[in-house]
Each structure stands twice: as structure tokens, then as C-alpha cells.
Chain A
Amino acid sequence: MKNLVKYARNGDADAFAELMQSQMQNMYKTAAAILHNDEDIADAVGDTLLACWEKIGQLKKAEFFRTWMTKILINKCNDILRRKRELYYDEEMQEFPEDVQEYSKIEWMEMMKCLDEKYRLVMVLYYVDGLSAVEISGMLDMPASTVRTRLARGRDQMASIYQIGEKRRAVNGGRV
């Protein structure tokens, strides 16, 4: 990845495209932790790609690419969220879409839905993007201790939800 970043910094659009395509899974999951419909996520991802291309020359070290890109993506997601809230705040917006087709995505979205909103992004940044608590703290402008607390609580929440789920499945399995 480091070489792709170097090529991209030198204006190689093919390398940039390859680099960003390799980040699509992570970008989607991060954006889905903040935004709640795929159209908005598509806008945020599109805006992020343009911003990254415009600014990648300013990225001093290739090693920082992931955190730098994720920070831009989060800002773009927050911009969209802010605009939407200004236009029409609606509790319904907080629900994930019902029209998702792919099973893997439904399961993943359901899992996100079970997590309290304030834990979602921190959990995705830590477990999906592989960022450390310190990096997340810098990215979200919150103390590292808060990040660690949210991670711990997010883990507890997921664990309890899935324990309940597993127990339910076991009971249902017994009946059949």
C-alpha cells in the first residue's frame, strides 16, 4: 500500500484508484457507522475520493494514509449529517434501510443497529480500520480514556446482545 500512496502522491491516478478501491470495504463500514442510508454513504465516499485526490500531495508520510483518509471520510459524513439535520431532522432517519438485499450486509447492519450510536464509530475504527485508541482519540477529538471506555462498553453491549441471541437460538433449536 505504501508504494501506491507514493505513486498517488506523484499524481498517478491509476495508483490512486487502486489504492482507494482497496479501501472500499473499510470506507463503507466507517461511513455506515455514521450515516444511515446508502445514498448518503455514496455521497460521502464520492466526496472523500475527490478530497483525497486533491489533497494527497499534502500527505507527508505514506504510513499515515489510512488515518488521514478516514479522518476526511468522517468529516464528509458529518457534513452530510449536519446538512440533513438542518434541513429536516427526523427520528426515522436513524434507522438503517430495510431494502438491503445481501444477507451478509443485513447481518452486519443488524449488528450495527444493536450497538448504541455513540459506540458504533469507535468500534468500527478500532476493529475494522485497525486504528489504535490513541489514533481514534486524535481523529474524533476526544480523550483516549473516553475511546477506551466506549470500546469496553461497545464490547459489553455486543457480547450481551449476542449471548441473548445465542440463547434464543438454542431454545428454538430445542423445540425443533
Chain B
Amino acid sequence: MKKDRIAERLQETIVVPDIVQQRADLVLAQIRKESIAEREGGKQMRYAGRRMWAAVAAAVLVLGLGTVACAVYLHWSRGMEEWFDATPEQKEYLEETRITVPMNDSVTQEGVTVTAQQRIVDARFVYLSFRIDGYRVEDGIEPCFEYVDTTVNGEPVNIMGGHFFDNLHRDADGNITYTDGTTAKETADGSIIGKYVGEDGSMEYLMTLMTADGRSLIGQPLHIEFRNLGIVSKAAYTPDIEAAWTFDFTLEASEQVRSIELSQPVGDSGATITKVEISPISLYAEFDFPMQTVPIEGIDQNGNTIQSTTFAEVPGLVGVRLKDGTRLTGIMQGGSDGYDGDDQDTYIVSRGIDRIIDPAEVDALLFMKEGAETNEEYYNMPEEKLYIVTF
């Protein structure tokens, strides 16, 4: 066997076993959850976002998007409300533009009813809320589906996140309460105790999806299967109910995307931004940035100098600037960065954001020139640490 054949055999793609992937998914979900709790405890940006929206709401009205009153007619799930921290104006905007629509598909198995109740969808990201009735856990005990599979036309869809809503709310001062207004309880070691069962006895499961290739899921037939329900503790799953709850629906939504073709350098990074798509809940950008191998030098733990290579990347997209000058950084959520397939010239960034913005009010994208030194700086990055690409 030749040397290159050895490499080829060892590098063959193998299926990571369910038990390993599932454990990784559980740990990462736990990390995300704790990170959100920690971040929002002392976070100011969500509320800056809220103030921003109040300013741009008037512009929305003037633009005549059909909004004449703040009559919210869709019942938002508790989890979706908390997730986007949406004001009545923002909710109304998403409803008018049909980026969010109610759902009402239920499946009952083994006495547990799972109901698809709300979705928020744009061209690249899908947020779903499911209500669970007939299954309860004690406060502080986290429920968990053992498996969640999602496919479109038989092809797997990336689940960027999935968790049961803990009914915790963080206010502008960082105080944590339950969504019913009562003070959040803590364990002896100071951890906040999540309350997964709501006042009406139901629970809520929230999930975020995106396609592996970044293509739109709008108009596509989505298949979701939840299998087995139990609890999770210290990232280990304990089974309780063996059953499957299956949903099939087409993701219909209007594409409220502001698309901009441009040719602007991203500072002195060598990348030229050629296309931007801004939706109320996500950002997408394409760059002319041919793949470059970069030699790097480092020091191993024995103090020896080592040589290696990596690939150059465009500066990290950290947020947007609004027409009134407000800079929103630290708003980026999960997504994908990199080259699409064999095209090694076009670098693509596709990311969800953690608030609702009006695409028409964005006048620049913000890229990280230097890393943030502190958590506060991450959410309020100073201008000198940014590349600002206007359009």
C-alpha cells in the first residue's frame, strides 16, 4: 500500500456513533444554555436593541408596511418571546411580514402530546417552538428528547440548537426571575434552578435549524422526529418514555430580505465584500477572498519552535451599524463561515442574530479588526477595533 493510500484510508469519513454524537450534543446544549443565562445576566445590548427598535418603528410605519396599530394577534410562545426579547412592535412586524406564523399540529403518543405551535423563518434560519403536554418534571430537573432528527427531502438539516425552555427571564438590570415574575430559586452552589413546567402544566421545546449548504428552507418539506423522552443530568440522559412524535410540514414564509450587491474592501484584510443579505433575524455576506494558505509558527509545550499551516479567514462579522449611528456588536449567533464546496474564491458568512432588526435601518456591517478584551467590550466594541463597511 502506498503512502497516499494509507492517508486516504485513515481519512475516510466514518459515521460517528449515536452515543458519541448524542453526548456531544447534550454537552454543547448545556453549555449554550448556561452561556445564555450567564451572558444575559449582565448584558446590556438586548436593551440597547430594544431602544433601537423604538426609534425605527416609526420608519416602519412611514414605509407603509401595513402597520397601523399595535394589535398583536398571534399568541407568541413563552420561549419565543424570551428568545428574541421582542417588543410589541417587533412582534407585529414579524407577523405582518409573515416571518412568524402560528402552527397547530399535534401528535399524541404514550399520553404525551407534542404540538408544533410557532415558527420564525427566514431564508436561512428556522426557529421552531413545540408545546409538550402530559409530561412533567420537578423544578430543576431538565427534560430531554433522546433523539431529534430533522430532514428536508431525506437530507439531514443542521440542528443548531434544541432545548427545553427553562422559563427564566433576565431583566435589564441582570436580575433573573421566572417568567411569571417570581424570584428564581438557586441551588446550594448558587446555580439558578430552571422551571421547565409552565403555569398551565405544559413545557416548551425550542429548536434552531439551518441547511448544511446555507440554502433556503422556505417552501421545503421539513420532517422532524422526536424519539423518546426522559431527563438529562450532568449531560447524561435517563430514559423514561419510549415513543416517537413525527411532524411533516412545509416551511412557508415571505422572504423579507434586503439584498445589496457591492464591492467594498474590508479594511486592509484583503477581502472584498460583494454581496450582503439582511433579514430581520439573520445576516449573510459573500466575499471575494481566494483561499490562501498561511504558514504559522508556534511553540510546543517543550519550548520547541514548530511550523504549520492554516487558511486565511476574513475578519469576523460582529454586528451592524444603524442609520442613527447605533453600533450593535456581540449580536451574532450560530451559522456557518467558509468556502462553499469547490468554489475556493468566494468566502461566505451566514449567521443568525439574537434580536430583531429592521433591514432598512442598517447602513454598515461591522467586522472585528482586533479581538475584544473584555465581555463588556464584546458587546460595545470600540470603533478602533472595527472594520466598518458601509453601503
**A-side interface residues toward B, CB under 8 Å?**
1-4, 6-7, 9-18, 20-21, 24-25, 28-29, 38-39, 41-43, 45-46, 49-50, 53, 61, 63-64, 67, 71, 100, 102, 104-105, 107-108, 111, 123-124, 127-128, 132, 134-135, 137-139, 155, 158-159, 162-163
Contact A10 B1 (CB under 8 A): no
Given contacts A10-B372, A39-B19, A50-B27, contact A15 B334 (CB under 8 A): yes
For the complex with contacts A14-B335, A18-B335, 20 further pairs of A-B residues with Cβ separation under 8 Å are A14-B160, A14-B161, A14-B332, A14-B333, A15-B332, A17-B334, A21-B28, A24-B21, A42-B22, A46-B26, A63-B308, A104-B15, A105-B17, A108-B12, A111-B9, A132-B307, A132-B308, A134-B306, A135-B306, A162-B5
Q: Which residues of B contact A7 (CB under 8 A)?
A: 316, 332
Contact A138 B301 (CB under 8 A): yes
Report the minimum CB–CB distance from A6 to chain B (whole Å).
Answer: 6
Report the minimum CB–CB distance from B294 to chain A (whole Å).
Answer: 9
How many A-B pairs have beta carbons closer than 8 Å: the answer is 165
Q: Which residues of B contact A123 (CB under 8 A)?
A: 10
Contact B16 A25 (CB under 8 A): yes
Report the minimum CB–CB distance from A56 to chain B (whole Å).
Answer: 11
Kindly state whether residue B262 has any CB partner on chain A within 8 Å: no
Q: Name 28 A/B residue pairs within 8 A (Cβ), A-sorted.
A: A1-B310, A1-B311, A7-B332, A10-B372, A11-B375, A14-B332, A14-B334, A15-B332, A16-B28, A17-B32, A20-B28, A21-B28, A24-B16, A24-B24, A28-B14, A28-B20, A29-B10, A38-B19, A38-B20, A45-B24, A50-B235, A53-B31, A63-B298, A67-B300, A104-B13, A107-B12, A134-B307, A159-B6
Q: Which of the four size classes fits the interface of chain B?
A: 35 or more
Report the minimum CB–CB distance from B317 to chain A (whole Å).
Answer: 8
The residue from B235, B300, B302 contacting A46, defined by CB atoms under 8 A apart = B235
Kindly state whether residue B258 has any CB partner on chain A within 8 Å: no
Contact A3 B6 (CB under 8 A): no
Report the minimum CB–CB distance from B70 to chain A (whole Å).
Answer: 31
Provide the main secondary structure of the chain B interface.
Answer: mixed
Q: Which residues of B contact A2 (CB under 8 A)?
A: 310-311, 313
Contact B316 A3 (CB under 8 A): yes
Q: Within the assembled complex, what's the spacing in Å between the Cα atoms of A14 and B385? A: 22
Contact A155 B334 (CB under 8 A): no
Q: Within the assembled complex, what's the spacing in Å between the Cα atoms of A7 and B381? A: 13
Given contacts A13-B32, A43-B23, contact A3 B313 (CB under 8 A): yes
Q: Which residues of B contact A17 (CB under 8 A)?
A: 28, 31-32, 160-161, 334
Contact B24 A102 (CB under 8 A): no
Q: Within the assembled complex, what's the spacing in Å between the Cα atoms of A105 and B19? A: 14
Given contacts A14-B333, A17-B334, A18-B336, contact A6 B12 (CB under 8 A): no
Q: Within the assembled complex, what's the spacing in Å between the Cα atoms of A159 and B4? A: 11
Q: Within the assembled complex, what's the spacing in Å between the Cα atoms of A9 and B377? A: 13
| Interface members, chain B 364-391 (any A CB < 8 Å) | 368, 371-372, 375, 378
